[in-house]
Structure 1
Amino acid sequence: MQKPTYSIYKFSFFLLLPILFFACERIVETLAPANFDYYPIEVGKYKVYQIDSIVYNEYNCSVQTATYQIKEVTESKTTDGEGDVTFIIKRYFRRTSADAWALYNIWTEKIEDNQIQRVENNQRMIKMVSPMQEGRSWDGIVYIRRDTLVPIRGGSIDMFKDWDDFVCDNIGGSFVDTLSNLIYTDVAKVVHVDKTNNIERRFSTEVYAKDIGLVYKEMRILDTQCRAPGTCTGNSDIAACIGTPWYIKAEKGFILKQSLVEHNY
């Protein structure tokens, strides 16, 4: 008599179904919705920033300082070429608070999945990801070539050289803005880069306050050949300027500090 192997296999298969079902069920995850409390975006909101800058002009060996204000207004929203809702940020410029605002340029930003993407001067950055956690990192300039030359006064600079992943730091901590004398009690700090060698300094960081957004930004993008002070040509002396502060030995690049002074969030 032939053994009923088919029936045994069939019976065993149906016994395994509940096991397979529950095994699959256990690996299903429910993803929490993206939370951007540190980067709220809303049409009609604005921020006014005080900006202090120092520009090192390698072309004519000059050092120029400037103080001015930038107002960012979330003017409207539209749909971009990728089908995503995109917010239009109009940026206005004035020298002092007594001057009238003049339209300076237009940037955009959008939320895509768990990212905040912002286009500044035609360069797209991933400013923030969700959830924000201490030590979390991401490639914030994945859309930008690391060897992109950025125009500055007197020439151009390799701004993104040596940039690695952005890193979230000081989540939920406090921050004291020494320029505006304001204290923020719940912030997320994002470090873009903090690298230095004998002839290059790359530093960029942003601080975001909960329910407000960007409250402080600082950049130090500097190069030097350690030439004699006040000269644009000649032999360099790297050993002589080791340990010299960057604001003294810099020959090309800029230092920028940006502080929030007014908003309607």
Structure 2
Amino acid sequence: MRHLTGILGLLMFLACERETATPIAITGYEYFPLSIGREWHYGLDSIVLRPEIGGIRFDSVRLQAREILVDTLRDLEDQLWYRGERYDRRSDTLPWRFRQTFLLRTETTRALRQADNLTFVKLIFSPREGERWNAQAAFDEYREIEIGGQPMAVYAGWRSRYREVDGPVSVGPPEDSTAQAFTKGLRVDLADEESAIDYRRAWEVYVADIGLVYRYIEVYDTQCNACCNLDFDQCADLPWREKAERGFILRQWLTQ
């Protein structure tokens, strides 16, 4: 009987310990702020590779982009999403052109963005340096997307990782030495993969109470045909911008 009483006492003690344990606080929501009317303005540089007779053409464009959260909706599982609209223009003297609708959402442990029927896990909470996750888990990472008239598995091999957490960051256009400085930010490495025939490098920067302030994506594929007539030994020594046959570069930075 004394043995049974001791066991019951231990169970009661453990139950009390569970009841009084301090819950772990989840942090990081300030990096993905959501509210109707919230707006972001970006500069955008892009270079798209296009095949043509005699080689590969690099088409470059600079745009201004604007994103604004205009409404909320609930999906079939009654989950709340913020609906946003994206616009762009070539200069501030031209009217904005509507480009796409997108959806944003935060859950207890992650932040989501949905656009073009693809859902990405942009952040996970709480952010910890070095932590990794599959941001493309909701779709086939080998799904092909048309880039410059050519199909590419853009997101193949991408895995997100927190490289820097809660530290100072600065962002601006590539040629601008007076970049904006922020005291508290996150850097998320999205991809850093290279093989003989493909190259994937991408990252994003988020700032507390603002959200996304910088994005960089550089994606190439090659079969070493246009540059080297299928000579892979010669091809291996060339920079990617000389041997790439399809792909793109994108830089996006917060302007206001």
TM-score clears 0.5: yes
Helix, strand or coil at the partner of 1:16: helix
Q: What amino acid is the match of 2:185? A: V
Asked if 1:36 is matched to 2:34, the reply is no
Contact 2:112/2:122 (8 A) holds in 1: yes
Matches within 5 A, 1:1-265: 8=1, 12-27=3-18, 30-58=23-51, 61-164=56-159, 166-179=160-173, 181-229=179-227, 235-262=229-256
Q: What amino acid is the match of 1:68? A: L
Change in Cα spacing, 1:59 to 1:162, as seen in structure 2 (3 Å) is: farther
Deviates more, 1:32-41 or 1:77-86: 32-41
Contact 1:70/1:91 (8 A) holds in 2: yes
Deviating above 6 A after TM superposition, structure 1's stretches of 4 or more consecutive aligned residues are none
Q: Distance in 1 between matches of 2:126 and 2:71?
A: 26
Give ranges in structure 1 of 5+ residues lacking alignment: 1-7
- CA displacement, residues 108-143 of structure 1 (integer Å, 9 cap, x when unaligned): 011122111110211101101111111122221110
Contact 1:225/1:237 (8 A) holds in 2: no
Cα deviation for residue 178 of structure 1 reads 4.3
- CA displacement, residues 166-212 of structure 1 (integer Å, 9 cap, x when unaligned): 11111122223241622222210001110112221011110001111
Change in Cα spacing, 1:240 to 1:124, as seen in structure 2 (3 Å) is: same
Identity of aligned residues (%): 26
Helix, strand or coil at the partner of 2:30: coil
Q: Distance in 2 between matches of 1:196 and 1:77?
A: 40
Contact 1:34/1:113 (8 A) holds in 2: no
Q: What amino acid is the match of 2:233? A: A
Q: Which has more radius of gyration?
A: 1
Q: What amino acid is the match of 1:184? A: F
Aligned residues: 248
- CA displacement, residues 27-52 of structure 1 (integer Å, 9 cap, x when unaligned): 46524245411111111110011110
Give ranges in structure 2 of 5+ residues lacking alignment: none
Change in Cα spacing, 1:22 to 1:93, as seen in structure 2 (3 Å) is: same
Helix, strand or coil at the partner of 2:191: strand
> What is the TM-score of this pair, normalised by structure 2?
0.89
Q: What amino acid is the match of 1:235? A: N
Q: Report what 1:5 is aligned to.
A: none
Cα deviation for residue 104 of structure 1 reads 0.9
Q: Distance in 1 between matches of 2:29 and 2:52?
A: 43
Contact 1:51/1:67 (8 A) holds in 2: yes
Q: What amino acid is the match of 1:202? A: R
> What is the TM-score of this pair, normalised by structure 1?
0.87
